[in-house]
Amino acid sequence: MNVVAEGYNAFETKKTPTGTIKYLPDPQSVIALISSGKLKEHILLVQGGTTTFLTPALTMGAIGVITLSGAPESHLGILSREFQMPCIMTAYRTDSDARYVTGGKNDEHFKAMIAALDGKKVTLDCTNGEVGRVVLAD
């Protein structure tokens, strides 16, 4: 099992969604993805752990999400549990010591995470109560 990233697991689930990671930088990219009809082909990568940004994706049945900040107590963590959509939060690369710092300057960390994950085909493993794992599918 090639684990490329880990993070807080929003909730325990046996679901193991597989898809190509797609980074969503702004609301327009969220709307464009919904319009493309390819939402369910992707694991969504977002910077924040808030709910509103991903609203249409949640509504239309996103299969899984990775965030670069936030925790299960964050609004997206709460909603992912309600939708039973696997969600790994404040993800970090397993081959790097770089971590998200609350209130800190995280731009470089975010860029590195996006560069490392965007476009990869992965499976989310959210069986553990605390740690969610992003596993390479290819």
Partner 1 sequence: MKQMASYTKRYEPSDDGLRFQDLVYQGNFHGMEPVPDGILGDKVMKQRAKSKVLEKVSHGDVLKDQFTIDELNDLNNYLAWNIWDVLVMRATEGESGMIPRQEYEILAFMHEFYRWPEILQMTNDEVGAQGIIDIGASARREIGTKVNCVHDWCIGAVGFGMGRCGLLALEVIKPQDYIEESNIILKFMQRILWGKRQDGYILNSQDRYRCIIHEQDVLDKLYGEIEHFEEGSDSHGAFVHFNAAAELLAFLDHYDCRLGLGDTGPYPLPNGKVLIVRDLFTNEEAYHWSDVCDHENVPHCYTMVLEIDAEAMGLEEIRVNDISTTFTRPKNYIPYVTGGAVFVREKWNTPMSEVYPVKISDLASRLTGVQQATLKLYSKTARMSRRQLITNGMYVYYIDMILPHLRLAGTYEKACRDLNFWEIDHRVSDYYYDITKRGFAQATVPQKIFSGEGYLPFPDNADLRRSKYFWD
Q: Which residues bind partner 1 (CB under 8 A)?
A: 10-13, 25-28, 31, 46-53, 55-56, 58-59, 67-76, 78-79, 81-84, 90, 100, 102-104, 106, 129
Angular region, 123: left φ>0, alpha ψ -120 to 50, beta rest: beta
Least separation in angstroms between residue 13's CB and partner 1 is 6
Least separation in angstroms between residue 138's CB and partner 1 is 29
- 14 burial level (CB within 10 Å; 0-12, 13-18, 19+): exposed
Cβ atoms of 60 and 39 closer than 8 Å: yes
Least separation in angstroms between residue 72's CB and partner 1 is 6
Least separation in angstroms between residue 67's CB and partner 1 is 8
Eight-state DSSP code of residue 40:
G
Q: What is the DSSP string of 68-94?
A: SS--TTSHHHHHHHHHT--EEEEEEET
Taking the least distance from each CB to partner 1, the nearer of 31 and 136 is 31
Taking the least distance from each CB to partner 1, the nearer of 2 and 109 is 109
